[in-house]
Amino acid sequence: MEYGEKMKVYIRPWLTVGDSESCSERIEAGCVHIYRSDMPDYDCQLHSHVQDYRLDYADGHELPVTRLRQLSRTLMGYLDDIGQIHIHCHTGETRSPTIALFALSLIEDRHPFDLLPDIYIPLWRQQERFANFCVSPLRDITRWYESR
């Protein structure tokens, strides 16, 4: 797979992750668009899905518990209302897998560390890419899970 081609990876029947190109057509899912306000050219241009949530988040930055709580309400609403969640960032390798890990932990009530292979393996098998989990957000997601 070459960079710049559409990337959409099925993590669960109800959860997909991808890059900005995966958002180039209407998706019958609640869509979490992860963008960087300091890099507006990297944002996808389509925000007309069944439901859209825009998350301004840069690679490796902290994910405060208040932000995770808001995101959890959004994700649960998508699952309840639509039954499908699509999460994407620019390349689909760092931010979208990180937020997908949070979604899996939230919805399946499993420790994030136990779910890492559930992200790594589909990304590799379907796109020959690795998820790049940064320490700070992984720590924040783990703390969120362990403090519930």
pLDDT in tens, 97-106: 999 999 999 9
> Can you list the pairs that 126-131 forms with residues at least 24 positions away whose Cβ atoms lie under 8 Å?
126/9, 126/10, 127/1, 127/7, 127/9, 127/92, 128/1, 129/1, 129/7, 129/92, 129/93, 130/93, 131/93, 131/94, 131/97, 131/98
Q: Say whether pLDDT at 110 is over 60.
A: yes
pLDDT band at residue 132 under the 50/70/90 scheme: very high
Range from 1-10, 28-37, 67-76, 81-90 carrying the lowest mean pLDDT:
1-10
For 121-145, what is the mean pLDDT?
95
pLDDT at 3: 47
pTM of the predicted structure, to 2 decimals: 0.91
- pLDDT higher at 133 or 90: 133
Q: Say whether pLDDT at 108 is over 80.
A: yes
Q: Say whether pLDDT at 4 is over 60.
A: no
pLDDT at 45: 59
